[in-house]
Structure 1
Amino acid sequence: MNAIMSRTRTPRIGAMLVGLTGMLVLAGCAETQLAGAVVKEVSRSEIPSGEGGYWKVGNPYQIAGEWYYPKEDERYNRTGIASWYGPQFHKKMTANGEIFDMYQVSAAHPTLPMPVMARVTNLENGRSLIVRINDRGPFARGREIDMSMRGAELLGYKEQGTAKVRVEYLGKADGWTGEQGRVQTVNAQPAPVAPVAAQAASQMQPVQDDDDDIATAGLPPVPNAPVDLSLLAGGASAAAGAIPAAAAPSAPAAQTTAMAPVVDNFFVQAGSFRSASNANALASQLSDLGPVEVTESVVNGTPWYRVRVGPVNNAQGADGLLESVVSRGQNGARVVIN
């Protein structure tokens, strides 16, 4: 899925009210609002069958000068910016041989295996959707995940185009037994957010973090690694030649959990180091770009020192800040939500 291409926004068929129940029917999805809760019933046709797909991790690859390193990671839990894709890739082959349908609930991710199930939470409104990842992308720097058009609708950001999200790995799609066809969210007031402040490393509590796979700021990219062209098939770039498999994984679930929305700021994580002195040195080099903080987290008993620049309050500002950090040689930098 080529996120560099412009995306056409295609409005869906309008909704209609049914009697006193307040029932809203939208493209096969029944929605009722009761006491602040939004309950959505997703039809079976909106859940990808996985037909023609196959299990795939993939080799390191490079797109537009940026390296991606696919791998299995059961601890994957990241924040970032979500976008969505649809019309240009509708009914084309995904990177693992399935057929992309923009009216179904699916997603593209640059490094997670395929197909897997992940929970995607819109941090701006609290909607949390379990989704099938079966494609590669987005390939615009600073983007964490690309939802299908239907997925973006359910998460409530289709019209605005992007949203702050958290992506959590749940498990392989093959054999997934989660609840199917039910999406529930709660409309709640945004939770109060504490002011962002730099903290001394000694004051940080050990947490499960995602820095073990970002600590490549000081590592060279894999030289001349061959690009797996099937990564670019279908949703990835509409290129032909991906090889489908006969075995199809079980149909996944579409469900959400109820939680209060969180309003946070965008940061650019320039790097993560095992050495505090290396982290502080990079922080000094980037200090002219804005506020820089070095914080510590502990991953599997090992301390990592993260260098983050920011905050900025919108995706456009985050994109600009990311490009500035990358121009300083930090090619592994990425956008995160604090």
Structure 2
Amino acid sequence: MKKFFLLAVASLLLSACTEMEYASHLTKQAMGPDGQYASNSGGSIGQTKLPDGKTHEGLYKVGKPYKIEGQWYYPKETYSHVETGIASWYGPGFDGKRTASGEIFNSDELTAAHRTLQMPSLVRVTNLDNGKSVIVRVNDRGPYKRGRVIDLSKRAADLLGFRNLGTAKVKIELLPEESLVAANMAKQGQSTKGIEMAANNGKLSAPTAQRGSVQTASLNNDTSIVGRPASVESEVLPPGHTDATGRYLPDPIVTQMPVTRTGIYVQAGAFTVRENAENLKNTLGSLGSVSVHTAQVKGQQFYRVRIGPVADVTAADKMLNTVVGMGHNNALIVVD
């Protein structure tokens, strides 16, 4: 029975295998980390060849530091990451094109682009406005529009309930155990497509996923089934949908999280010396409500200068552009 359970889980892994703002689309077309991008590069990265000479899709990748619009990003392997901010999404216009990890993008899969997380990794994304939450697999770099923290596939945006809105306030939580499973699979040359479906349905475990091979039951060795009459049962498919290629994709479980009130701010800078933060606060006073927030990060006290809360994402984008135009190039939009 155990063998058949393992087979079922492995089968799930194998078989399950925007309208984002126009400016962000244009940026993706033009640039990316390591001088090569990504979602709509039309195969500029190409498939990766292993030492065995075979071509594999979507291998493990971290990448080198890169600079976009004057801001540096430092990709790294990590299994502890939480952030909040504004999510956007990208979809059909990128279908069939290569992601930064080397695999083919499919807007019907639960995937995402992140600026620094290793590929692949699994993150839980929660829409802070409605509490809807799903697990997605990071397989791309982006977004490259200021003020965005993650680009989600069309399918993920649908499930999180913001596809028609274009953006949403979200919380991103990296799942350490699941991400380690995905990393180990990719490092061994195994495709991780569909692993996010298993994670959403609670059927992903490290021992099972790391085996790397499917053990099938043998009629000659398993005496427990000898002489047992075969029964024919009709397969009942779980709720799902069929993508453009005709593949049946089961719907993942959308978790409902508590909804808490959050605001959108523009963070102009963060300092370890309070006097510096107060000076910046005074400089930005004409822009609206400016305050200094304290925070502990890995034992270090920081003083964050924030403007807001602002009315919505549009107002935040406008304020961010103003602050950056004043020379504060590391300014960003935060949700708190």
Would the TM-score normalized by the shorter structure come out above 0.5? yes
Work out the CA distance in 2 between the residues paired with 1:147 and 1:266: 20
Work out the CA distance in 2 between the residues paired with 1:245 and 1:84: 30
Would the aligned equivalents of 1:53 and 1:245 in 2 still touch at CA under 8 Å? no
Q: How does 1:72-221 map to 2 (within 5 A)?
A: 72-171=77-176, 173=179, 175=181
Residues 1:267 and 2:261 are matched in the alignment: no
In structure 2, the residue matched to 1:197 is none
Work out the CA distance in 2 between the residues paired with 1:55 and 1:257: 28
Secondary structure of the 1:5 match is: helix
In structure 2, the residue matched to 1:61 is 66
Distance 1:328 1:245, change over 3 A: farther
Would the aligned equivalents of 1:3 and 1:137 in 2 still touch at CA under 8 Å? no
Distance 1:245 1:65, change over 3 A: farther
Deviations 1:126-162, CA, capped at 9 Å, x for gaps = 0011110110111111011111000000000011111
Would the aligned equivalents of 1:173 and 1:249 in 2 still touch at CA under 8 Å? no
Q: Which amino acid aligns with 2:181?
A: G
Task: List alignment gaps of at least 5 residues for structure 2.
Answer: 1-19, 27-55, 201-252
Would the aligned equivalents of 1:59 and 1:69 in 2 still touch at CA under 8 Å? yes
In structure 1, the residue matched to 2:300 is 302
Q: Which amino acid aligns with 1:294?
A: V
Distance 1:306 1:74, change over 3 A: farther
Distance 1:119 1:71, change over 3 A: same
Work out the CA distance in 1 between the residues paired with 2:102 and 2:169: 29
Q: Which amino acid aligns with 2:65?
A: P
In structure 2, the residue matched to 1:292 is 290
Secondary structure of the 2:130 match is: coil
Distance 1:332 1:74, change over 3 A: farther
Question: Which one of 191, 208, 217 corresponds to residue 248 of structure 1?
Answer: 191
Work out the CA distance in 1 between the residues paired with 2:152 and 2:94: 12
Work out the CA distance in 1 between the residues paired with 2:304 and 2:263: 16
Deviations 1:267-291, CA, capped at 9 Å, x for gaps = 0111111111111111111111111
TM-score normalised by L of structure 1: 0.63
- The structure with the greater share of residues assigned to helix is 2
Secondary structure of the 2:286 match is: helix
Identity of aligned residues (%): 47
In structure 2, the residue matched to 1:5 is 25
Would the aligned equivalents of 2:61 and 2:118 in 1 still touch at CA under 8 Å? yes
Residues 1:327 and 2:309 are matched in the alignment: no
Q: CA offset at residue 76 of structure 1?
A: 1.9
Would the aligned equivalents of 1:3 and 1:138 in 2 still touch at CA under 8 Å? no
Distance 1:3 1:166, change over 3 A: farther
Q: Which amino acid aligns with 1:322?
A: L
Would the aligned equivalents of 2:64 and 2:74 in 1 still touch at CA under 8 Å? yes
Distance 1:97 1:298, change over 3 A: same
In structure 1, the residue matched to 2:314 is 316
Deviations 1:192-217, CA, capped at 9 Å, x for gaps = xxxxxxxxxxxxxxxxxxxxxxxxxx
- The structure with the greater share of residues assigned to strand is 1
Deviations 1:38-60, CA, capped at 9 Å, x for gaps = xxxxxxxxxxxxx7112222112
Distance 1:52 1:320, change over 3 A: same
Work out the CA distance in 2 between the residues paired with 1:123 and 1:327: 29
Q: Which has the higher contact order (CA 8 A, sep 6+)?
A: 1
Distance 1:141 1:63, change over 3 A: same
In structure 1, the residue matched to 2:43 is none
TM-score normalised by L of structure 2: 0.63
Would the aligned equivalents of 1:97 and 1:245 in 2 still touch at CA under 8 Å? no
Deviations 1:8-66, CA, capped at 9 Å, x for gaps = xxxxxxxxxxxxxxxxxxxxxxxxxxxxxxxxxxxxxxxxxxx7112222112122333
Secondary structure of the 1:142 match is: coil
Would the aligned equivalents of 1:53 and 1:248 in 2 still touch at CA under 8 Å? yes
Would the aligned equivalents of 2:79 and 2:179 in 1 still touch at CA under 8 Å? no
Deviations 1:92-116, CA, capped at 9 Å, x for gaps = 1110111110011111111111110
Q: CA offset at residue 256 of structure 1?
A: 4.2
In structure 2, the residue matched to 1:282 is 280
Aligned length: 229
Would the aligned equivalents of 1:118 and 1:169 in 2 still touch at CA under 8 Å? yes
Q: CA offset at residue 265 of structure 1?
A: 1.8
Work out the CA distance in 1 between the residues paired with 2:281 and 2:80: 27
Would the aligned equivalents of 1:174 and 1:249 in 2 still touch at CA under 8 Å? no
Would the aligned equivalents of 2:126 and 2:257 in 1 still touch at CA under 8 Å? no
Would the aligned equivalents of 1:125 and 1:262 in 2 still touch at CA under 8 Å? no
